């Protein structure tokens, strides 16, 4: 897997259709990692929290181009610096989604895709 530029992680397989939103899926993964973090190490505790905040901002239509650099910088600061593999695992969805689906992020940032969340909270736009 390393030769292919990826890792097995938890060896879970997730299948998405072309109708699924990559940015939202990445946000949900980071929310999972943030929730599951024990909080013992600062890079994992803070990195996952702030990446979740940035992804939420992007999905709310409030993101900036600099947010993509900040997400990648956060991953650089997290990878290899946590006490367990959870921190390392959290970087993979962010880095690979930006690498392979950067346009999806740009569509939110540049207003080609309507916001998924209201900016003030985590409620989905149009959700009841």
Domain ranges of the chain: 21-109
pLDDT tens sequence for the chain (128 residues): 678 776 665 556 677 888 899 999 999 999 999 998 888 999 889 999 999 999 999 999 999 999 999 999 999 999 888 888 888 889 999 999 999 999 999 999 999 999 988 776 665 655 43
At the topology level of CATH, where does 21-109 sit?
A: de novo design (two linked rop proteins) (1.20.1440)
pTM score: 0.84
Q: What is the 3-state secondary structure (H, E, C) of the chain?
A: CHHHCCCCCCCCCCCCCCCCCHHHHHHHHHHHHHHHCCCCCHHHHHHHHHHHHHHHHHHCCCCCHHHHHHHHHHHHHHCCCCCCHHHHHHHHHHHHHHHHHHHHHHHHHCCCCCCCECCCCCCECCCC
């Amino acid at each position: 897997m390393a030769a292919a530029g990826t890792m097995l992680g938890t060896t879970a397989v997730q299948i998405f259709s072309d109708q699924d939103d990559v940015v939202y899926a990445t946000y949900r993964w980071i929310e999972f990692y943030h929730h599951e973090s024990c909080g013992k190490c600062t890079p994992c505790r803070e990195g996952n929290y702030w990446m979740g905040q940035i992804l939420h901002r992007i999905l709310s239509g409030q993101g900036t181009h600099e947010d993509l650099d900040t997400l990648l910088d956060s991953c650089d600061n997290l990878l290899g610096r946590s006490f367990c593999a959870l921190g390392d695992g959290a970087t993979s969805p962010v880095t690979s989604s930006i690498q392979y689906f950067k346009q999806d992020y740009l569509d939110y940032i540049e207003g080609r895709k309507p916001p998924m969340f209201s900016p003030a909270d985590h409620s989905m736009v149009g959700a009841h």
